[in-house]
Amino acid sequence: MRLYDVGFRFLKLFPAEPIHEVVFGALRGTMAIPGVRGAVRRALAPAAPSLEVRAFGVTFPGPVGLAAGFDKNALGPDALAALGFGFVEVGTVTARAQDGNPKPRLFRLPADRALVNRMGFNNHGAERVSRRLDGSPPASVVAVNIGKTKVVSEAEAADDYAQSARLLGRHAAFVVVNVSSPNTPGLRDLQRAEALAPILDAVRTALDESVTDRRVPLLVKIAPDLADEDVDAVADLAVSRGLDGIVLTNTTISRARLASSPSEIEQVGAGGLSGEPLRERSLALLSRVYRRVGKRLVLVSVGGIATAEDAWQRITHGATLLELYTSFIYEGPLVAYRIHDGLRTRLAERGLERLEQAVGLSIQSSHVVGDHP
Ligand SMILES: Cc1cc2nc3c(=O)[nH]c(=O)nc-3n(C[C@H](O)[C@H](O)[C@H](O)COP(=O)(O)O)c2cc1C
């Protein structure tokens, strides 16, 4: 049994959200001790040149990033990145600060190596998060995920997203428009092409107007619960609107095929399920979208990635970048380091010099439409 497994048995005795705050606070405190962050970063960084990824004009030291939701307020992206992540996606940030749903709202389902959350976009708001990033600009690659303020109607959604983009775009290596959280009523309806197009256009304009020294890449994050045809529609829209990529997927509202007991699942209640039970659907959507759009979009795969084998599978099925959240909780702080190391070994075994050469290898090229960007 690994040291982290012993620690996790202890942490599991306490409710999930307070433990998240205590552990993240302790991590930031430790990394603030002079010399510590640099030493940890040097030990855990994805150092192999073969792991470096170039996508939409950004250079990532490694493909495995920390998914949105862990550092919603950009409190410590550098402390997290030092643990070996190639990038950190902060957020979801909304234009107005909000408290989120009543607690408890984060739960573990250990038998499934899963989490259920109904956080509801608790965050400090775009202005405050922007000021924080102004005060201590991160040294690592940081993406910003933006969402809709709960009290804002669908008709005003585009303006709301654009306001966040205007405040946060300059801090972001790339921006992710989140229309897929199950915990803001009506949010996922914004995935319909006719609702999504004006949001993406408004965010693109806001980014171009507010950041003039570079083009900020723009991606959309989708839900695993979309019907296949709706996924195709979003993918087509992303191409036609000139998006840079798709993050797939967010958490699921499905509770199918869980090992946890029905009473445990019922006790936890509503929310988005993440972790191992998402793995299959997330991979299936990735393959589907890659077959459809090829390399015209950068695909960022997230959902149930816990091992180097999972990561390799996603890359060979079309992902250029990867993200994880739940396995960081269950596997511990070395998960990104371990996955990068396993990817480095796989590349060396196959004589590949760059990770990009493996992207989509398992998908028959005859099925893939679209050219290299
Ligand atoms: C507690 C928690 C909070 C999350 N908050 C957000 C969020 O604010 N915005 C977002 O786009 N995704 C959020 N997610 C979803 C993750 O970014 C990710 O898409 C999902 O958990 C699947 O990845 P995983 O199986 O590696 O956890 C959250 C996930 C968890 C577990």
| Rounded alpha-carbon distances, angstroms, from residue 152 to 94, 158, 184, 187, 274 | 10, 10, 11, 10, 27
pLDDT at 188: 84
Nearest Cα residue to atom 26 of ligand 1: 324
Cα separation, 198 vs 39, in Å, equals: 45
Atom of ligand 1 at shortest range from CA of 305: 26
Q: How far is the CA of 212 from the centre of ligand 1 (A)?
A: 31
Q: How far is the CA of 302 from the centre of ligand 1 (A)?
A: 9
- Tell me the per-residue pLDDT of 301-323, one tens digit each, with 9 for 90 and over: 999 999 999 999 999 999 999 99
Beta-bridge partner residues of 116:
107, 273
Q: Which residue has the higher pLDDT, 114 or 189?
A: 114
Q: How far is the CA of 228 from the centre of ligand 1 (A)?
A: 21
Pocket probe mutation, ligand 1, options 252, 274, 301, 305, max atoms within 8 Å of Cβ: 274
CATH architecture of the domain 3-361 equals Alpha-Beta Barrel (3.20)
- Tell me the per-residue pLDDT of 152-176, one tens digit each, with 9 for 90 and over: 999 999 999 999 999 999 999 999 9
pLDDT at 372: 45
Nearest Cα residue to atom 6 of ligand 1: 69
Q: What is the dihedral of CA 238, 242, 245, 246, to 10 degrees?
A: -20
The residue-averaged pLDDT of 28-34 equals: 93
Q: How far is the CA of 3 from the centre of ligand 1 (A)?
A: 25
Q: Which of 164, 180, 181, 282 is catalytic?
A: 181
Cα separation, 356 vs 160, in Å, equals: 36
Q: Which residue has the higher pLDDT, 146 or 192?
A: 146
Mean pLDDT, the chain, whole residue set:
93
The amino acid sitting at 123 is: N
Cα separation, 139 vs 237, in Å, equals: 33
Q: Which residue has the higher pLDDT, 340 or 190?
A: 340
pLDDT at 183: 84
| 263 catalytic residue (yes or no) | no
The residue-averaged pLDDT of 354-371 equals: 77
pLDDT at 373: 44
Pocket probe mutation, ligand 1, options 19, 325, 339, max atoms within 8 Å of Cβ: 325
The residue-averaged pLDDT of 42-46 equals: 94
Q: How far is the CA of 143 from the centre of ligand 1 (A)?
A: 14
Atom of ligand 1 at shortest range from CA of 119: 3
In contact, 319 and 356? CB cutoff 8 Å: no
Strand extents, DSSP E, the chain: 53-55, 58-60, 64-66, 87-94, 106-109, 114-117, 142-147, 175-178, 218-222, 245-248, 272-275, 298-302, 321-324
Pocket residues for ligand 1 (CB within 6 Å)? Answer: 67-69, 72, 91-92, 106, 115, 117, 119, 121, 145, 178, 181, 221, 250-251, 274-275, 278, 302-305, 324-327
Cα separation, 200 vs 205, in Å, equals: 9
pLDDT at 9: 74
Least confident among 1-10, 216-225, 267-276, 338-347: 1-10
Atom of ligand 1 at shortest range from CA of 275: 25
Residue 369 has pLDDT above 60, yes or no: no
Residue 208 has pLDDT above 90, yes or no: yes
Cα separation, 175 vs 242, in Å, equals: 14
Q: How far is the CA of 67 from the centre of ligand 1 (A)?
A: 6
The residue-averaged pLDDT of 203-207 equals: 98
Atom of ligand 1 at shortest range from CA of 89: 17
Nearest Cα residue to atom 28 of ligand 1: 69
Cα separation, 206 vs 327, in Å, equals: 34
CA-closest candidate to residue 68, choices 50, 99, 103, 92: 92
Q: How far is the CA of 349 from the centre of ligand 1 (A)?
A: 33
Atom of ligand 1 at shortest range from CA of 324: 26
Nearest Cα residue to atom 24 of ligand 1: 303
pLDDT at 346: 97
The residue-averaged pLDDT of 78-107 equals: 96
pLDDT at 266: 95
